Amino acid sequence: MNKLTVRDIEVRDKRVLVRVDFNVPLDEKTGAITDDSRIRATLPTIQYLIDQGARVILATHLGRPEGRVDSKLRVTVVAQRLSQLLGKQVGVTNNCIGAETEKSIETLRSGDVILLENLRFHSSEERDSPVFARALARFADLYVNDAFGTSHRSHTSIVRISEHLPAVAGLLLEKELNTLGGLLENPAHPFAALLGGAKVSDKVGMVENILTKVDCLLIGGGMAATFLKARGYEVGKSLIEEDRLETAANLMQKASDGGVHLLLPVDVVVADDIDAEAGVVTVQVENIGKTQRIADIGPQTTKAFYEELRRCRTIFWNGPMGVYEIPRFAEGTRAMAKLLAGSQAATILGGGSTAEIATNMGLADQMTFISTGGGASLRFLGGESLPGVEALHDREET
């Protein structure tokens, strides 16, 4: 990575505005945080700044309030959890900009931490607003981007603010770029990509870019239905992307031409409806009925995937193998998670749902690396530049 990082600048007694991605999942009934992985991932940057005597100003979005104040999406619950993790009080402002917020920041001493209220309470955040950028920048001397998961967005606090402050990468952002970059530049072989989730369209760029890097490509989840349909199989009422059938066929041809071993499901769990009460049966892919929907990979597919993955030295996993939110359709996904957790390979997970699976199963610590970015990781692995990274200062500028 050729960008300056927080280690490359003097931060003592400086007001450092850190863009973090604390967009954590909340329980719909209680409002409690159900997964604090994104908060924990940024702790090294925050702790480094505290230890160096900086005055730390954190900025994040939470949910999609669409430019309006939503009491359910206030960041107080995030500040409370961060306080517990840091072992010190983290204050919260009533607004992310304004005179009152400026006064709160003026009271900060070296090593103090404060969290600005939800950036997306202002519609200007998502509009890349120069005015909003100046309002945020006036609070700080330096800017640090540690929000990899949002760095594919051209939002004000991600890109525009670098026009007003020296802008560098945080330690999490640096780790994300180096780890994912390593997959593209020098992965240990054999290298496998295990892909699931609902849509082919979300992953086309990434698949095309890594086809020249991987030795094998394994496809499950909802997106497998589109690939199976492209191969001429009946997929019943499974959700497919009709406009991506040709794309899927082309990707399979490219894999074949490039000597990449591509595995699709050979058996699947199907149901007439995707709900907890529906009748469930496992069938070979050539026997899917016209009224049935694919809900998970079957045991033979799980075994075939296992045999392929156990010989690999690098495995990238993005997307569940089925409708994992419903326990009866989660077996394939759970099997893959257990396999990767026990593997001797370097295991890199990308995507919010994939990270959530590993965390909920208590397996996160057994993975080599779990990316905090879904869309950002797919774009980066697809060879696209990330606006939030491009906006940071290059090393050669100094």
Q: Which residues are catalytic?
A: 38, 199, 352, 375
User: Is residue 200 a contact partner of residue 397, using CB atoms and an 8 Å limit?
Assistant: no
Helix (H, G, I), strand (E, B) or coil at 304: helix
Q: Is 17 exposed, middle or buried, given 0-12, 13-18 or 19+ CB atoms closer than 10 A?
A: buried
Q: How far apart are CA 209 and CA 258, in angstroms?
A: 12
Q: How far apart are CA 13 and CA 11, in angstroms?
A: 6
User: Is residue 372 a contact partner of residue 149, using CB atoms and an 8 Å limit?
Assistant: yes
User: Is residue 58 a contact partner of residue 116, using CB atoms and an 8 Å limit?
Assistant: yes
Instruction: Calculate the alpha carbon distances from 122 to 19, 131, 390 in Å.
Output: 16, 12, 24
Instruction: Calculate the alpha carbon distances from 118 to 77, 94, 182, 316, 337 in Å.
Output: 12, 9, 33, 32, 33
Q: Most distant CA pair in the chain: distance in Å?
A: 69
Q: How far apart are CA 359 and CA 354, in angstroms?
A: 9
Helix (H, G, I), strand (E, B) or coil at 119: helix
Which structure tokens are listed for 77?
A: 């619950």
User: Is residue 107 a contact partner of residue 68, using CB atoms and an 8 Å limit?
Assistant: no
Angle among Cα 369, 381, 315 to the nearest 5 degrees reads 45
DSSP state of 285: G
How far the first Cα of the chain sits from its last, in Å, is 15
Quick check: bond before 265 cis, omega within 30? no
Contacts of the segment 323-326: beta carbons below 8 A, 24+ positions apart: 323/222, 323/274, 323/295, 323/296, 324/353, 324/357, 326/274, 326/275, 326/276, 326/295
* Single-letter residue type at 35: D
